[in-house]
Amino acid sequence: MGRESGASAGPEKRLRPDSPESRDDAALQALFAAANAARQHAYAPYSRFRVGAAVLSASGAIHAGCNVENAAFPVGTCAEAGAVAAMVAAGETRIRAVLVLGEGPQLVTPCGACRQRLREFASGDLPVYCADENGIRRSLQLDLLLPASFGPDNLPAEQGPAES
């Protein structure tokens, strides 16, 4: 379950979910709590790198997932994929925000495949919150992580997803 990471440019400002700056953002606090809870259930016996993710859907519902490794390494599932699958299973198809939570000195961002998964259900201005157990480390837009992306809007209307 590879994670792409980015080096921090200068001192990073941490945004704790219970800090005054985020106290008014109940959705962000809920995303953090859901991703953190899911991370506790991650199945990562090989890498021991546990990741939790949560997506905020268009309806305001939060769907969480964790990474699930497999002895046949390519068969594992990323936390973001699990969260997106839970959202779709609940009948939703639009993401308003995503939070990815993992530990380590580098930012934990969605891998390339998960960036594309997120793009399927969101536009390039999707906020992607990168966090560790101590709080949110950085907020990025999906366009920064997946520039010049290909998504459903690139397909002719007759090939794109049916309106739900």
Sequence spans of domains, the chain: 26-148
> Within 10 Å of residue 11's Cβ, how many Cβ atoms?
6
The reported pTM is 0.84
What pLDDT, in 10s, does the model give residues 78-111? 999 999 999 999 999 999 999 999 999 999 999 9
80 is catalytic: yes
- pLDDT number for residue 163: 60
Single out the catalytic residue among 4, 12, 21, 80: 80
Q: How confident is the model at residue 64 (pLDDT cuts 50, 70, 90)?
A: very high
- Tell me the mean pLDDT in the region 49-77: 96
- What span, in angstroms and rounded, lies between the C-alpha atoms of 116 and 105? 25
Is 26-148 CATH 3.30.450.40? no
- pLDDT number for residue 162: 66
Reported in sequence order, the residue ranges of the chain that DSSP labels E, i.e. its strands, are 52-57, 62-66, 95-101, 127-132, 135-141
Residue 7 confidence (pLDDT) above 50: no
